[in-house]
Structure 1
Amino acid sequence: MLNGHHFTGGIEAGHLVQQPSFDMDNDYGFFEMDDLEEMTGTPRETMACEENDRSVVDESSQILTPSIVEQLPLDVHNWECLFSTTIDGPSFGTFMRNVRGHTRTIAVAKTEDGQIYGAYATDPWSGRGRVAARGGDTSFLFGVSQGSAKKGQMSPLAHPSSQASLGSFIPGLDMNLMSTSPTSAIDFNMANLSVSPKRAGASIDIVKSTSTTCGFKQVCQLGNKFIGMSDGEASFTVESSFTRVSTQSTSKDRKEFDIVEFEVYGLNEG
């Protein structure tokens, strides 16, 4: 369920890309409720009341749409919004309270130019004194290019090598006829010689960890108002009270953007 709407979809992964980033090994700041009370000055009783008073996110503010979820490599598609800067504001304390206890979450950030970057995490975003969370082979990062993007525009996390298409080497080949025909039921990815069902509205690239031992590590710092995931190569970080997002899939392609909306979804067990 996504904000009151149930939906089910098939499993479809995007292009796998992985690359270098920054090191988080020595920077894991986890906090419990007592830390939140001490650092924010808000009594725990007040926090509980505020949590119960949360309203449902309006559909117009959704980032994680059913069409996006259907394309993520997940075994379930039943999610509910836990935190949204639209209704909760840029409050890191509220974020920590709302996601507390959830082991499977999807964090998504929408940028000023309409791109969407996200991460699927398989460990809680809290837990002071524990070893850094390790997402194994199931956690991943992803980037979304909306259907309104220009023809031929690559998904935000697409590897630079996929910018070159087969059309460059076949004189006279009209790539638009291969991929954008309104009557076509499939899309051809000529850069990787693959075929996928045609989906209106979004093109998604999935980033799997290259690490065979630990996968993506999660970091959550209340003091610095920062969350992130990294495997030492690819990374996704949100900082400055949910106003900046940075991503990296190669050693030289680190990108930073201003965030216009940030949301976190949790698996709905109901």
Structure 2
Amino acid sequence: MSTSESNGLGTLYVVATPIGNLEDISARALRVLTEVSLIAAEDTRHSTRLLQHFGIRTPLVACHEHNEREEGGRFITRLLAGEDIALISDAGTPLISDPGYHLVRQARAAQVQVVPVPGACALIAALSAAGLPSDRFVFEGFLPAKQVARCTRLETVKADSRTLIFYEAPHRLLDSVADMRDIFGAERQAVLARELSKAFETIKGLPLQEMYDWIAADSNQQRGECVILVAGYQAPDDADEVQPEAQRILELLMAELPPKRAAGLAAQITGVRKNALYQWALANKTSKG
């Protein structure tokens, strides 16, 4: 079945599996999982249940964050010998906040063909139903567990005009939303997408302060797999004040570009109105003589 038969090498298939509802697995994924020689799984205990449900008897071997670097060579050896291997995570698309990157990198370095078998992905499922702008977005994965590091990360994306997407563990959900509220502002629109495709799926959009209050009042909202989406920064129509971070970016651009061009690029980066940035640039240039 290998698509690498011409060079005698096996193929590494990166196979997406359901994030909840088992009906979301594709016919192609089932065929690949049945026909490969080996399945490399993030958690063999979890994946065994999936395979048993579909009657798949392919051998299963662990490939998780603690052994991926060391065990990768064993998988590469088998791929080089012509065997096909499927890589799966506990749920969704491998490598997206899940193990697999090192194995994929090793396979490509060894000239082994890597073939994606697309399917469920929590961040894309959440974005598709959130009602927030989806033409430009940034995925930040899991935020740091410690508050100081978490707030530092949030500060770096505070002025980003793209929709922000985060994964979060349920026991840190309330703390993370509180930090988002304090850094992004109480009125910034957010969406909690929880337990997607499962029995208790919830997709709720509220300003961050109301989101915090809603989660705090209902412990059920602090359970399961969580995706948090936050609207990108938008300067108020009448806002002429240029915040310090936007000033810093504009100053860096002005070192290499004329004020008008620098203001245009800074507006794209920060979401601040171009005219406000241009006026600040002119005043700043004048003040520096």
Q: TM-score, normalised by structure 2?
A: 0.24
Q: Which has the higher strand share?
A: 1
The structure whose residues are more often helix, as a share, is 2
Which protein has the larger Cα radius of gyration, Structure 1 or Structure 2?
Answer: 2
- With the length of structure 1 as denominator, give the TM-score of the two structures: 0.25
Higher RCO (CA < 8 A, seq sep 6+): 1
